[in-house]
Structure 1
C-alpha cells in the first residue's frame, strides 16, 4: 500500500470524484469526506453542521436530506472507519509465514493508520462522554480484533477456537490497550517525553511488536 491508502480521508475524497456517481450519492459522499477532513482540524465538540455545510458548499437543508443530525453522520463515519481499520489490518496479516511476522505486519499497519487518521482516532479514544456511541464503536472493534487474534493463536496451538483461554483473552485486551495508549501519547497528545524516546516509526513498531511477541509466547507456553 502507498501512504495515501492509509488515509481514510483520502479514500473518501477519491470516492467523491468517481465519474459514475449520481448527484445525490456524490453529495452524500462529499458530506462524509468533509466531516472527516474537519475532524482532522477541530475537536468533535466544536464540529457543527454549519461548519460541514460551509466547507462542503451546500445549504443546511441539503445536509438534512441525507443525515437527520450531526451525530448520525459521525456514527456512520466512525463505523465505516473501523471497518476500514479492520480490513486493512487483516490484509496485512494475510500471507504472514508465522506468528512473529504477523504481529510485526499488523503493528506496522496500525501505526500508519493511527498516524494518518489522527482526527478519527481521537474521536474513538477521547470522546466517551460527549459522544458515547464512539465508545461503543471502539469496544466493538476491539472485541472483533481480539477475538480474531485469539482464534488465530489457538488454531496455531492446535487447540481450536472453541477452547476457552481466559488468560489469553485478558492478555490480548491489555496489550491492545497498551498499544492505543502508547500511540495516542505519540500521535494525539504529542507527549514530548514519550516522543523523545520513542524513535522513528520503525523503532515504535519494533518496540510494540517485541512486547506482543514476548508476552504472548510466555502466555502460550503456560497453556501447553
Structure 2
C-alpha cells in the first residue's frame, strides 16, 4: 500500500524544490524567496491578514522588488495556492498495482497527512475562496479535475461502468464535499465537537483515513471493503465480506 510522502509540509517541499533546481540566476532566487516567504506567512496568518510589507520583511526584499515579479498579494497567493493544489496535494498515480480499496485509502491517507501538516494553508484556502472569486474559481477547477481523474480511474478499472459516468461523478462530488467539510472543521476551524469525535473514533491518521475510505468504498461499490483491506477503525465499524471480490461500481440511481 502506498505510503504517505516523506515531506508533508508544503513549505518544506517548496524549499526542497527550489534547492534541487540547481544554480539559479539572481532574479530567480529572489522570486523563490518571495514565494517561500508567502507560503510561510499564509500558513501562519492566512490570506486576510497577509500584508505585502510582511512578505518583503520575511523575504528580505523591498516592495518595488516584489512588484517586479508579482502584481500584488492576490497574484502571489494565487501562484502559491495553485501549486499547493495542483502539484503538492494531488495524489500520485498508483500504476494499477493497488486494489480499489487500497487506492481509495492511499489517496485519503495522503490527504489527511497533508491537511494536518498544512492546517494554516487549508484554512487560508477556505478564507481566500470566500473573499475572492478568483480563488473560488481556482478551488472549483482543481476539485473538478480531481473528480474527473477519479472517474477516469474507475472506468479504466471497470470498463462496463462507462455508461454510468454521471452517476459515479455525482457520487464523488458528494463524497469530496464530505471530506472537504471534515477537513475544514477538523484542521482549519479546529471545531471542538469534531475533534472529540475523531479522537474517540479514529485514534490516528491511519484510522481516520480508513474511516473515510470505508464510506467512499460503500458509496462507490455498494459493498463492504474486502476482508483484510480495512484494518483499524474499519474493522470495528463494518464486517467485511470475507473473500468477496471487489465489485464494479453499482449501476443506476440512488434507491
TM-score above 0.5: yes
CA deviation after TM superposition for structure 1 residue 95, in Å:
4.7
Q: What is the aligned residue count?
A: 221
In the alignment, what sits opposite 1:209? 213
In the alignment, what sits opposite 1:63? 66
Please give the alpha-carbon distance, in whole angstroms, between the structure 2 residues aligned to 1:156 and 1:51: 49
More helix by share: 1
List gaps (5 residues or longer) in structure 2. 223-247
Please give the alpha-carbon distance, in whole angstroms, between the structure 1 residues aligned to 2:155 and 2:132: 36
Report the TM-score when normalising by structure 1. 0.89
In the alignment, what sits opposite 1:5? 7
Give the secondary structure class of the aligned counterpart of 1:44: coil
Contact kept, 8 Å, 1:13 with 1:30, in 2: the verdict is no
- Superposed CA RMSD in Å reads 2.2
Task: Specify the structure having the higher radius of gyration (Cα).
Answer: 2
| Higher mean C-alpha deviation, range 43-52 or range 198-207 | 198-207
CA deviation after TM superposition for structure 1 residue 97, in Å:
2.3
Please give the alpha-carbon distance, in whole angstroms, between the structure 2 residues aligned to 1:129 and 1:64: 25
Contact kept, 8 Å, 1:86 with 1:145, in 2: the verdict is no
In the alignment, what sits opposite 1:140? 141
Contact kept, 8 Å, 2:8 with 2:117, in 1: the verdict is yes
Please give the alpha-carbon distance, in whole angstroms, between the structure 1 residues aligned to 2:32 and 2:87: 16
Say yes or no: does 1:53 pair with 2:56.
yes
In the alignment, what sits opposite 1:100? 101
CA deviation after TM superposition for structure 1 residue 15, in Å:
3.9
Please give the alpha-carbon distance, in whole angstroms, between the structure 2 residues aligned to 1:128 and 1:183: 15
Report the TM-score when normalising by structure 2. 0.79
